[in-house]
Amino acid sequence: MIRKRVTIQEIADACNLSRNTVSKIFNNRGNVTESTRQFVMMKAQELGYYTQELPAPPKAAAPGSIAVLSSSNPLNHHFGALFIKAFTDAVCRSGYSVQMYELTAQEVSQLQLPSQMAIDNTLGVLCIELFDEAFIRHVSALGMATVAVDGYCGANRSMIPCDILSMENVTSAMRITKQMVEQGAGTLGFVGDVLHCNSFHERWGGFCAALRDAGIPVDRDVCILHPDGGEYADIDWTVAQLQQMPRLPEGFVCANDYHAVKLMLALKRMELSIPGDVMVAGFDNTPESAIIEPGLTTVNIHSADMGVLAADVLLARLQSPQRPFCLTYAQTEPVFRSSTKKG
């Protein structure tokens, strides 16, 4: 059933496409690539354009479907939006369709697949923004080609029957931490739940390794390591965490840019200067990191390239089901900006 409150123009604007292109897709006319059709359909579903299952792919379509499973809509995030667009394009070019499903907390905890997911026609699964070990193991045991992006804390050390793809975290976290030490930081803190997901845990590991190399002890008293949740979005809560510390460190490395931006707002509320009083670094290179004042030192992730790489890994698994499972890291690079540069 169509919800008239969402228009074709609104969908076109959200996809950065022309109204004519989106109209062709919904009216099944004109020459529009399958990857574009899939992307528009997923964005329309996200906006609430209709409540029924997505229209079936054209009749010339795929020999089977690839399911994207997530506990948090990846299209709402900088990394996820670029990743999914590239992944969908690559998979559809190979003749498969893509269906995206956002899981409820209950489905994850009870190891339930979405009721609308056609298992018999699903050949592969991509798990993204999904950090529950039991659920990923459950999906991996179903016999479908499975790729987990990032994964639960410790996934890189687990004997799990699926392929894992991650951005490189340790080396880049070490490099931004080392740069802050070179800028004069004698004490450094970390912000983020280091058990939330494998990438956060690895970034924490890189941070600790850089401190050890510099002969600086890891001091949890000047870290914010609270379990991941809505508290990190609350500036007042962050201010309270800083005020409870026995002393403020000379710099913070944050698990991602979201935490770093919130931290910077809290420091500004306390009338502290960045980087004069406290240096701050993030991870992800989101658009916000470049426009906030001062510019945020961060780490660039090749999100779209990782989407293509995930498709390559999954398609290779479909072609060779018996090959050894692989753990693949995509290189990242630090982006040094004003938030960690003194003088």
In this predicted structure, the answer to whether residue 50 has a pLDDT above a threshold of 60 is no
pLDDT grade for 295, boundaries at 50, 70 and 90: very high
Tens of pLDDT, residues 121-141: 999 999 999 999 999 999 999
Query: For the ranges 3-7, 19-23, 147-151, 313-317, which has the lowest average pLDDT?
Result: 3-7
pLDDT for the residue numbered 26? 73
Task: Report residue 43 as tokens.
Answer: 């964005």
pLDDT for the residue numbered 46? 72
pTM, 2 dp = 0.82
pLDDT > 90: percent of the chain: 74
Q: For all residues of the chain together, what is the average pLDDT?
A: 90
Report the pLDDT averaged over residues 287-312.
96
pLDDT for the residue numbered 45? 72
Contact yes or no for 206/181 (Cβ under 8 A): no
Q: What is the CA radius of gyration of the chain?
A: 22
Report the pLDDT averaged over residues 144-151.
95
pLDDT grade for 5, boundaries at 50, 70 and 90: low
Which residue type does 253 have? Answer: V
pLDDT for the residue numbered 77? 83
pLDDT for the residue numbered 56? 46
Question: What are residue 2's DSSP bridge partners?
Answer: 50
Ramachandran area for residue 129 (φ above 0: left; ψ -120 to 50: alpha; else beta): left
Residue pointed to by tokens 């008293």:
221
Contact yes or no for 339/295 (Cβ under 8 A): yes
Query: For the ranges 40-49, 117-126, 259-268, which has the lowest average pLDDT?
Result: 40-49
Cis bond before residue 246 (omega within 30° of 0): no
In this predicted structure, the answer to whether residue 272 has a pLDDT above a threshold of 60 is yes
- Please state, in angstroms and rounded to a whole number, the distance separating the CA atoms of residues 264 and 256: 13
pLDDT for the residue numbered 52? 41
pLDDT for the residue numbered 34? 63
Residue pointed to by tokens 């229209």:
55
